[in-house]
Amino acid sequence: MYNITMGIITENVKQILAEIPPGVEVVAAAKTRNAAEILEAIAAGIRIIGENYVQEAEEAHQEIGAWAVWHFIGHLQKNKVKKAAAICDMVETVDSLDLAAEIDKRCAALGKIMPVLIEINSGREPQKAGVFPENAADLIKQISGLEHVRVEGLMTMGPLTGQPDDYRPYFKETKKAFESLKSLGLPRVTMKYLSMGMTGSYKVALEEGANILRIGSKIFGERVY
């Protein structure tokens, strides 16, 4: 159940898009949301839908399809890559050569090239996915040799915290890594996108250079259990 009614999604989207500067993309994080809610967000101006789970992405994609661009924003397991490769237009959460190689294999079979972002564990939290900032260059160099994967930037979450400004050091460090990697001019790597910030932190992320924001509850409302 959700504490939101149809129509409010439209208002929320219009409010967010009005305050987002040109050149910044909003990914509507649609975890657990139904097709009607997602379609309302699209009708209001959302272009990109972000999914955390492959099964939910499949179900939504069957109803919505090419009305949206589909980003995978959750932890992607290797045994789910085949389905994700068929649905998604970008995977934002690549953090290992093994995962990138599986995406490459599945995309080769589909005859497509998958844009990916490298997930940065900016908080250096051992229990979380992502590569430490100082290890990103080595990983990207390895991935850049894959024919059907293209690294197009970085993504980070940052440690969950209560105050938006607490995210700033993690966003700063990821932006620093982004600029450093961009300056390397690695072949077959285009450092275009920096995906940082969610509902509680997207304004700070914008200030620190994000050009992709992943926003869920500010669009769709909080989940009520």
* From the candidate CATH numbers 2.40.37.10, 3.10.20.30, 3.20.20.10, 3.40.50.10320, the one assigned to the domain spanning 8-220: 3.20.20.10
Instruction: Summarize pLDDT for 94-121 with one digit per residue, the tens.
Output: 999 999 999 999 999 999 999 999 999 9
Provide the pLDDT confidence category of residue 5 given band limits of 50, 70 and 90: low
Instruction: Summarize pLDDT for 158-201 with one digit per residue, the tens.
Output: 888 778 999 999 999 999 999 999 999 999 999 999 999 999 99
According to the model, what pLDDT value does residue 6 have? 62
Q: Is pLDDT above 50 for 2?
A: no
* Alpha carbon distance 219, 61 (integer Å): 19
Would you state the torsion angle of the CA atoms of residues 40, 44, 66, 37, taken in this order, to the nearest 10 degrees? -20
Q: Is pLDDT above 70 for 145?
A: yes
Q: Which residues pair with 56 in a beta bridge?
A: none
Q: Which residues pair with 151 in a beta bridge?
A: 116, 189
End-to-end CA gap in the chain: 6
According to the model, what pLDDT value does residue 223 have? 63
Domain ranges of the chain: 8-220
* Alpha carbon distance 152, 100 (integer Å): 13
Q: Is pLDDT above 80 for 91?
A: yes
pTM equals 0.94
